[in-house]
Amino acid sequence: MGEELQDVATTPSGASVTSAPALAGRLHDLWSFVRPWVPFLAVFLLLSLGWGAMATRFAEGAGQPLSAATGPTQGEYIDAFWHLGTGFLLALPTRDRRLLLITPCMSLGLDADHVFGLFLPSAVPRPDHSLLFALLAAAVAYAWKGPLARGATIAAIFTHFAVDGGTFPFLDPLTFARWPLSIPASAALLLGCGTLLLLLQGTPRGWRDTRAWVELAVIVAALTGFLVWIGPVSWLRT
């Protein structure tokens, strides 16, 4: 009680505000939680960049023409928030802080391959949007951090595919053919990713919690509705 009185002050309007030492303590706690995941996320980013470089070289070797770097557009920034937001939403029904941190970060990190095409010449658009990259990233996550990180990695990558639009080189660098994802396929992927996260062990809410499923159904329906609404012309599909 005494500690609470020390940490919380009251404004003239009666609203309580957190004192500087309490805020510093909370930031310290937050950093203690985030810090162990920083190397993991950094390695995911490096893997993503490395795969992009490797696939670009393979595509070049296979005779794919190089496109010039285009530079970032406003749509790229909106796209970044879109991937952060959708990764967060899919992890939300689990109420797990670890998943709420790493799923959005990895969903965004998959677009590290935009370096090729935006800042460097590229022989294949979006080279990391490949099932083989997903396999590699999931294997590294499992070997390093176990099943929770593997589940988050798979969910992050497939959520990214589901909300990205356009066509994907799903089997690069074996082939640079591209496949589209239909809206029903995107909806199924979103539901699958949310289900996978709810099936993970040790989260505050799991598959036994009916409210988590209701929440997931609402989130998937809302995202699918949004994808239908924006249609084929949007920042996501350019």
Contacts to Zn ion by CB under 5 A = 111, 164
93 vs 169, which CB is nearer to Zn ion? 169
Tell me the closest approach of the beta carbon of residue 103 to Zn ion, in angstroms: 15
Nearest residue to Zn ion, scored by beta-carbon proximity: 164
164 vs 172, which CB is nearer to Zn ion? 164
181 vs 191, which CB is nearer to Zn ion? 181
94 vs 122, which CB is nearer to Zn ion? 122
Tell me the closest approach of the beta carbon of residue 12 to Zn ion, in angstroms: 49
164 vs 215, which CB is nearer to Zn ion? 164
Tell me the closest approach of the beta carbon of residue 111 to Zn ion, in angstroms: 5
DSSP letters, the chain, are -HHHHHHEEE-TTS-EEE-HHHHHHHHHHHHHHHGGGHHHHHHHHHHHHHHHHHHHHHHHHTTPPPBPP----HHHHHHHHHHHHHHHHHHGGGT-HHHHHHHHHHHHHGGGGGHHHHTB-BSSSSTT--HHHHHHHHHHHHHHH-HHHHHHHHHHHHHHHHHH-SEE-TTTTT----EE--HHHHHHHHHHHHHHHHHSTT-SS-TT-HHHHHHHHHHHHHHHHHHHHHTTSSGGG-
Tell me the closest approach of the beta carbon of residue 236 to Zn ion, in angstroms: 9
Tell me the closest approach of the beta carbon of residue 27 to Zn ion, in angstroms: 32
